[in-house]
Amino acid sequence: MSENKGEIKKMMIILSKATLENVYAAFVLANGARMEGIESEIFFTFFGLEAVHKKKMNSLHIATVGNPAMHIPTMVGGLPGMEALATSMMKKEMAKLDMPEVSEFLEILSDSGVRMWGCKLAVDMFHYKKEDLFEGVEEIITVGDFYKRSEGEGVHMLFI
């Protein structure tokens, strides 16, 4: 941490989940970095790929089961329609805060210079093609490629 007084130069964010709250967390962190003049990149892996899948990105849900902060009993959270209900409530609140939909947020990230990558292993596993993904995803790369991109001083890595 002694290098440049610990100045953060680049955020390397790995998004492995497609629950809405995790996707937004990754996007806000990536965008927030760019707003502060910090470089940022996102590596979409496993379910995180759904956040950049053209057909899926705008129908992501928040998790109502296994999420104690929802303050609803797990069994109730598992009832049909609960996730959709909670998601639509959360989306309304987010709209009030001027939070964009996933697809629009991706455009903002891309225009702001956030570099985005798909994980090769996960893309192969889900049988996705590069064309299925948001255009801002530059390439499908391996974890090794991602580590290579993360070399340098002041680079921080974050797993979501």
Does residue number 78 form part of the binding site for another protein (CB under 8 A)? no
Does residue number 108 form part of the binding site for another protein (CB under 8 A)? yes
Rounded to 5 degrees, φ, ψ at 143 are -60, -35
Residue 140 DSSP SS3: strand
By CB under 8 A, which span of 52-60, 76-84, 93-101, 128-136 interacts with another protein? 93-101
CA-CA distance, 146 to 83, in Å (whole number)?
Answer: 33
User: At closest approach, how far in Å is the CB of 35 from another protein?
Assistant: 6
Rounded to 5 degrees, φ, ψ at 133 are -100, 155
Does residue number 138 form part of the binding site for another protein (CB under 8 A)? no
Closer to another protein at the Cβ: 24 or 146?
24
Does residue number 98 form part of the binding site for another protein (CB under 8 A)? yes
Q: Is 14 in contact with 158 (CB distance < 8 Å)? A: yes
Does residue number 112 form part of the binding site for another protein (CB under 8 A)? yes
By CB under 8 A, which span of 44-52, 84-92, 94-102, 124-132 interacts with another protein? 94-102
Rounded to 5 degrees, φ, ψ at 137 are -75, 110
Q: Is 78 in contact with 65 (CB distance < 8 Å)? A: yes
Residues 1-60, interacting with another protein (CB under 8 A): 28, 31-32, 34-37
**Other C-beta atoms within 10 Å of 113: how many?**
10
Given the rule CB under 8 A, which residues bind another protein?
28, 31-32, 34-37, 98-100, 104, 108, 111-113
